[in-house]
Amino acid sequence: MVHVVNLVVHTELYEILGVSVTASEDEIKKAYRKKAREHHPDKNPNDPEASQRFQELSGAYEILSDSAKREDYNNYGLEGLAGGSGVDPSDLFEMFAHSGFSFAFGGPPPKRKAKDSTIPYEVTLEDLYNGKQVKMNMEKDVICSTCNGSGAKGNAKPKTCVKCDGNGFIITTTPLGGSMFTQGRSTCPDCQGVGEKLREKDRCKKCKGKKVVSEKKRHEITIEKGMANGQRIVLHGEGDQVPGTPPGDVIFVLQLQRHDAFERSGNDLLAKVQITLSEALLGFSRVLIKHLDGRGLKVNSPPNKIIKTSDTIVLKGEGMPHLHRPGEKGDLYIIFSVEFPSEDWLQTVDHQALEKLLPPKKPELDPQPEVVEEAKYEEGDFVDVRARSFPAGAEFMDQNFTSQFGEGDDDAWTDEDDDEDGPECSQQ
């Protein structure tokens, strides 16, 4: 991977020593000695900030005089020194923070451990309700046991990379037009920034110089009851192994699939249930829905209650289990929609008898408008009308479509549920 970093990003330490970012080791050494003499606290007994400045100088020199640390700093700033360099970055931050320097803490993350592997894992709502153990085989890079991660055959040593002359990076210039150009640096593609590289014949036979080999491993992950969409299950240290750094993690990210019957909202569930016109008017006592654990939930509607489309009831304690406390559950909201009978059914009944049973039709307007015209009837599409017309009326019309989720007239229902703790709603 080629990583391009502009030279100008991390210059604070060079500024402390007063050298250019391309200064040689020798120039850095000379600049440090000169400045250290100048700012030594012994020489500035009356300057309370002298010792602070002297510390900064020493800190900057400690990093820039070491080619590996300097490289890390160039690429990642002070944060990049967090891993493997033996320097505690918090000491550095502390050392420089007093002096009012501002460091850019953006950029790549510190190189503390190898890259994590993130794997999306599809789950059903049933999985999250009931919990699940998943066994899977995974392949990952492990340190080659033949060369112990050196990549070399026997005691063969890597040679200085020819392409970058051991620097680990190459300088690239990009023209900006005219006589202007910008200079940048790229990680050396031949040695991947190491500065050294093994010759073909010196490479380990088993890993072919790659230092790692692929290995299969069986893993078991636990999907706990009540886990959420997007939740991460982390297998610490099970990621790819990289020589010289602790391995990364394997992270499964749960991806909840759509469910046909239920929707989840936090720990609550939402289900839409269709009832017939006869049930809407006369009530029902039946299994309304099959739950995520396979139980049927039987519900008795209260007597003398008419149920309209989008009326909502709540079945307390029938929602999702709480994570880590699966004995506690959210609620299940059931939203009704009333299914009208078909036209086929209409042809089988006596219309006059039906009219006598139903509430009366609307009477004519009284008084009648002076002008009454016969209007032509056509099938329409209400959604279409809303999309393209009257902005002024939109708000009024929206009110008819306000969701009643959670605001249902559920008193009659919950009372009934509480009184008779029937088998239909008991937890198992």
Minimal distance, residue 81 CB to Zn ion, in Å:
21
Beta-carbon contacts of 87 under 8 Å, excluding residues fewer than 6 positions away, are 62, 63, 69, 81
Beta-carbon contacts of 76 under 8 Å, excluding residues fewer than 6 positions away, are 10, 107, 108, 110, 111
Minimal distance, residue 27 CB to Zn ion, in Å:
23
107 secondary structure, DSSP code: S
**Residues 112-151, mask of contacts with Zn ion (x by CB under 5 A):** --------------------------------x-xx----
Q: Which of 29, 206, 219, 272 binds Zn ion (CB under 5 A)?
A: 206
Asked whether position 172 contacts Zn ion by CB under 5 A, the answer is no
Nearer to Zn ion, 147 or 242 (CB): 147
Asked whether position 153 contacts Zn ion by CB under 5 A, the answer is no
Asked whether position 188 contacts Zn ion by CB under 5 A, the answer is yes
**Residues 9-38, mask of contacts with Zn ion (x by CB under 5 A):** ------------------------------
Q: Is 322 exposed, middle or buried (0-12, 13-18, 19+ CB in 10 A)?
A: middle
Which window, 28-36, 180-188, 284-292, 307-315, contacts Zn ion (CB under 5 A)? 180-188
Asked whether position 191 contacts Zn ion by CB under 5 A, the answer is yes
Beta-carbon contacts of 339 under 8 Å, excluding residues fewer than 6 positions away, are 274, 275, 276, 277
Asked whether position 57 contacts Zn ion by CB under 5 A, the answer is no
CA distances to 3, 312, 332, 428 from 421, rounded to whole Å, are 65, 20, 16, 13
Nearer to Zn ion, 151 or 321 (CB): 151
Reference 306, options 409, 232, 421; nearest CA is 409
Minimal distance, residue 214 CB to Zn ion, in Å:
12
Q: Which of 19, 82, 207, 425 binds Zn ion (CB under 5 A)?
A: 207
Q: Which of 28, 81, 143, 161 binds Zn ion (CB under 5 A)?
A: 161
Minimal distance, residue 164 CB to Zn ion, in Å:
3
Number of Cβ atoms within 10 Å of the Cβ of 168: 21
Minimal distance, residue 206 CB to Zn ion, in Å:
5
Minimal distance, residue 152 CB to Zn ion, in Å:
8
Peptide bond before residue 367 is cis, with ω within 30 degrees of 0: yes
266 secondary structure, DSSP code: T
**Displacement of CA 267 from its chain's centroid (Å):** 20
Q: How many angstroms separate the CA atoms of 68 and 76, rounded?
A: 12
Nearer to Zn ion, 59 or 151 (CB): 151
Which window, 66-74, 113-121, 201-209, 387-395, contacts Zn ion (CB under 5 A)? 201-209
Q: How many angstroms separate the CA atoms of 137 and 277, rounded?
A: 53
Residues interacting with Zn ion, by CB under 5 A? Answer: 144, 146-147, 161, 163-164, 188, 190-191, 204, 206-207
